[in-house]
Structure 1
Amino acid sequence: MNTADRASVARRNVQPPRAQASLGAGVVVTDEAGRVLLGLHRSGVWELPGGQVEPGESVEDAAVRELAEETALVADAADVEVIGLILDSVTSTLMTRLTAATVVRAFRGVPAVAEPDKIERWEWTEPDRLPEALFLPSAQVLRMWRPELGLPDGPYHRYAMGRLPVSPSGPGRA
């Protein structure tokens, strides 16, 4: 390889590609009675806690952060399970939404409205009594969690995750 070729390789991919997708985490959290936590958005639809995964953040860390930011509930990333991915090109024609469906297995605290400009209130809801006015990406996360729920289907692509063995030093480490 000549010097010009090496210089070309060194400059390759230094800028991020044009954004074509948005990665978020939808968070299913249940109480001891098995009810799921839903927030009434100021727009009138119900939704799960969740939001975008920030650069350098794991999906589990994003789920924990979003849960705390939105509900004041505290969880540990080790108590978050990614149960699937949902690829959605329905809710936006400009961007593909990729949502990691997550379940929080343990948390501390009592739900509180931490973002009153977005959420009016949080309620524990029986899974078989979900409101009709449900944010579609939240409905898809709930459908990934409990496929038997009578939730709307759509042209979404769902990818269920299997549990992988984790080495003592953590995932992906030798």
Structure 2
Amino acid sequence: MRDLAEETGLVARATDVELLGTLVDHVEGVLRVSVGARVHTRQGQPGTQLEESVVEWARCPLDQLPDGLFVCSAQILTGWRLDLPIDHPPAHFMAFTPAL
């Protein structure tokens, strides 16, 4: 929730966040471990934060996601929703609950 606020400007309570699973991938010589989360209720609007690298926000339906998603985001989305047609490098995703 701290990262959510720092990186997006959005505020959520612990009870409003569902952890989806852990992602382990290896990109350009870097081993990354990420945890995907789904925020059910939040306050505020996403916006560019001065110290963060996200420069553009867009809200898209899952069946209309744009090309060129951040690799970790693409991998977590397809780990959570096996039916999403998103192309990305292989990764290991361990879901906390069964995938939809």
TM-score, normalization by structure 1:
0.51
Q: Alpha-carbon deviation of 1:146?
A: 1.9
Tell me the matched-pair count: 98
Q: Is the 8 A contact 1:80 1:104 kept in 2?
A: yes
1:16-35 aligned within 5 A:
none
Amino acid at match of 1:136: V
Does residue 1:128 correspond to 2:60, yes or no? no
For 2:28, which of 68, 88, 92 is the aligned residue? Answer: 92
Q: Alpha-carbon deviation of 1:113?
A: 1.6
Please say which structure displays the higher CA radius of gyration: 1
Q: Is the 8 A contact 1:70 1:115 kept in 2?
A: no
Separation in structure 2 between the aligned mates of residue 72 and residue 147 of structure 1, nearest angstrom: 29
Q: Alpha-carbon deviation of 1:116?
A: 6.8
Separation in structure 2 between the aligned mates of residue 141 and residue 112 of structure 1, nearest angstrom: 22
Residue in 1 that maps onto 2:86: 151
Q: Given the superposition, is the C-alpha separation of residues 85 and 117 from structure 1 closer, same or farther in structure 2, using an over 3 Å criterion?
A: closer
1:34-45 aligned within 5 A:
none
Does residue 1:82 correspond to 2:19, yes or no? yes
Q: Alpha-carbon deviation of 1:144?
A: 2.1
Question: Higher relative contact order at CA 8 Å, sep ≥6: structure 1 or structure 2?
Answer: 2
Amino acid at match of 2:54: I
Residue in 2 that maps onto 1:101: 36
SS at match of 1:121: coil
TM-score, normalization by structure 2:
0.83
Gaps of 5+ in 2: none
Separation in structure 2 between the aligned mates of residue 88 and residue 137 of structure 1, nearest angstrom: 8
Residue in 2 that maps onto 1:118: 53
Residue in 2 that maps onto 1:25: none
Q: Alpha-carbon deviation of 1:140?
A: 0.7
Amino acid at match of 1:79: D
Gaps of 5+ in 1: 1-63, 164-174
Amino acid at match of 1:129: Q
